[in-house]
């Protein structure tokens, strides 16, 4: 956050005419009301009407296409002696040849599912997809369609390999690296998570899936719905980590029954008697392993509970740096959940794209570059401010976004200091009026820089080190 001495003389960072257009005659300086800056439970916006052309469903043709894709891949892999190293390339080639996006979408697949007598045994994990639909079962692999309405995948790796293609909709696909520095146990690692790239995936795009740290990624689905077709091997032994900035890897499938019951009991106790919860949780954390600390901390934060001092017993047992790293990861996770919940109220693909960038891309310059690439013709910073204004106008943010606040954010995107903000406003507002409102203006400036939603845009440039 900006800490420059307020007495410093600033420089104007916006053209006076542009600033006057943004202010539109309004010089109202108001707090953003950060105490209410939570994700509102607004009803989903209607979005654009569905203009998709209905496709006639020929169940026999779909079954033939599924069999052709699966049988052809099975034969090609058998010729390679089922070498797992060969499978991603073979799966990629098969999906490119099939070009299933030309014929399949959620409606055709659902119609086939309702009418076919040849639906295979469902092996897809029910929590991964909305819903997942197993289409084909082969030797050592299977094919599934994943329908996504509002889901977004965590940053994760795979313990299988294969390939996937987009059938319908689009997604922001982000890839990451992880450098392990401290292994607590097989289920919990410390290290450094690094964002590498983001790109828009559209129907027909194909990506290989590689196991382990070779392919750490996330998908933020921009359209409602999005559908992917996945060709994959069966899950191998070993963790399939989720990753949390700035640098935690945790096995989401390690869920021992005793701990699960304890977490549920703690949640119930917190709802009934928060003080008893604090005493009980502190007693548990004073003797708990780091995995249990992680799970208790994450569960507590994700349900919105706030208990200062709860982690002091864990710090004494495990050391401040480790526990602070867990806390930083959980803080980032809560921000992710807030943006994901906000996304459930938003149907406009451009707004969802903006939220996807705020969630996944940790660098301001990269966010603006991606906006400019996908939406050329308007200054990316102007477009970002416009999108924020449009989202705020729906009421989903529970924020008071005045023209002055938008202009202040626009200056922040120019790497302005607070002194620069004052100097810029003084181009079009009498100096005395700016000085009268200086403290309120400073409050707005601080609130903008304190909003978790905008942290990637307002933070100082980070050398792609995974910071949120």
pLDDT at 294: 94
Q: Is the pLDDT of residue 128 over 70?
A: no
b vs e for 246-266, b when ≥16 Cβ sit within 10 Å of the residue's Cβ?
A: bbbbbbeeeeeeebeebbeeb
The answer for 457, left when phi > 0, alpha when psi is -120 to 50, beta otherwise, is: alpha
Query: Which tokens in the block code for residue 391?
Result: 């989202």
pLDDT digit string, tens, across residues 307-348: 778 888 888 999 899 999 999 999 888 888 888 888 778 888
Per-residue pLDDT tens digits for 352-393:
899 999 989 988 999 999 999 999 989 999 999 999 999 988
DSSP 413-435: TTT--HHHHHHHHTTTS-HHHHH
pLDDT of residue 36: 40
The more confidently predicted of residues 399 and 448 is 448
pLDDT for the residue numbered 46: 45
Report the pLDDT value the prediction gives residue 33, as an integer from 0 to 100. Answer: 60
Fold assignment, 59-250:
Jelly Rolls (2.60.120)
For residue 225, is the peptide bond before it cis, meaning its omega torsion is within 30 degrees of 0?
yes
For the chain, the structural domain boundaries read 16-45+345-458, 59-250, 257-339
Cα 252–Cα 257–Cα 259 angle in degrees, nearest 5: 75
217, β-bridge pairs: 156, 175
Global pTM reads 0.83
Most confident of 194-198, 302-306, 337-341: 194-198
pLDDT by residue (tens digit) across 254-269?
A: 988 999 999 999 999 9
Which has the higher per-residue pLDDT, 431 or 403? 403
pLDDT digits (tens, 9 = 90+) for 65-74: 999 999 999 9
Tens digits of residue pLDDT in 229-256: 999 999 887 889 999 999 999 999 898 8
User: What pLDDT is stored for residue 153 in this prediction?
Assistant: 75
**How large is the angle between the packed helices 418-425 and 403-412, nearest 10 degrees?**
130
pLDDT band of residue 148 (cuts 50, 70, 90) is confident
């Amino acid at each position: 956050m900006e800490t420059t001495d307020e007495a410093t003389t600033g420089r104007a960072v916006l053209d006076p005419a542009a600033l006057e257009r943004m202010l539109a005659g309004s010089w109202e300086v108001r707090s953003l009301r950060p105490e209410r800056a939570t994700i509102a439970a607004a009803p989903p916006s209607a979005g654009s009407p569905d203009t998709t052309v209905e496709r006639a469903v020929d169940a026999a043709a779909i079954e033939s296409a599924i069999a052709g894709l699966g049988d052809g891949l099975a034969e090609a892999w058998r010729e390679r002696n089922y070498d797992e190293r060969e499978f991603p390339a073979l799966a990629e080639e098969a999906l490119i040849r099939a070009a299933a996006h030309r014929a399949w979408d959620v409606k055709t697949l659902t119609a086939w599912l309702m009418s076919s007598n040849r639906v295979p045994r469902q092996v897809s994990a029910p929590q991964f997809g909305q819903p997942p639909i197993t289409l084909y079962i082969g030797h050592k692999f299977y094919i599934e369609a994943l329908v996504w309405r509002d889901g977004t995948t965590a940053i994760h790796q795979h313990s299988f390999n294969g390939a996937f293609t987009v059938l319908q909709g689009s997604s922001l696909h982000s890839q990451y690296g992880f450098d392990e520095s401290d292994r607590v146990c097989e289920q919990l690692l410390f290290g450094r998570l690094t964002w590498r790239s983001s790109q828009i995936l559209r129907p027909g795009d194909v990506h290989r899936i590689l196991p382990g740290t070779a392919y750490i990624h996330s998908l933020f689905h921009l359209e409602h719905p999005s559908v992917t077709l996945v060709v994959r091997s069966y899950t191998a032994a070993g963790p399939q980590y989720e990753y949390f900035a700035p640098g935690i890897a945790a096995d989401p499938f390690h869920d021992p029954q005793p701990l699960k019951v304890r977490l549920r009991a703690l949640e119930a106790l917190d709802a009934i008697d928060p003080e008893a919860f604090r005493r009980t949780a502190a007693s548990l954390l004073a003797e708990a392993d780091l995995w249990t600390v992680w799970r208790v901390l994450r569960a507590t934060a994700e349900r919105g509970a706030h208990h200062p001092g709860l982690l002091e017993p864990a710090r004494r047992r495990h050391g401040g740096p480790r526990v602070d790293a867990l806390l930083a990861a959980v803080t980032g996770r809560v921000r992710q959940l807030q943006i994901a919940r906000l996304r459930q109220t938003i149907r406009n693909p451009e707004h969802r794209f903006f939220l996807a960038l705020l969630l996944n891309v940790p660098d301001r310059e990269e966010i603006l570059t991606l906006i400019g690439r996908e939406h050329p013709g308007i200054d990316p910073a102007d477009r970002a401010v416009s999108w924020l204004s449009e989202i705020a106008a729906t009421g989903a943010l529970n924020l008071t976004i005045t023209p002055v606040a938008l202009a202040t954010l626009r200056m922040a995107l120019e790497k302005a200091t607070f002194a620069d903000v004052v100097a810029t406003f003084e181009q079009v507002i009498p100096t005395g009026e700016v000085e009268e409102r200086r403290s309120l203006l400073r409050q707005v400036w601080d609130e903008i820089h304190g909003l978790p939603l905008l942290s990637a845009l307002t933070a100082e440039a980070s050398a792609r080190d995974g910071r949120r």
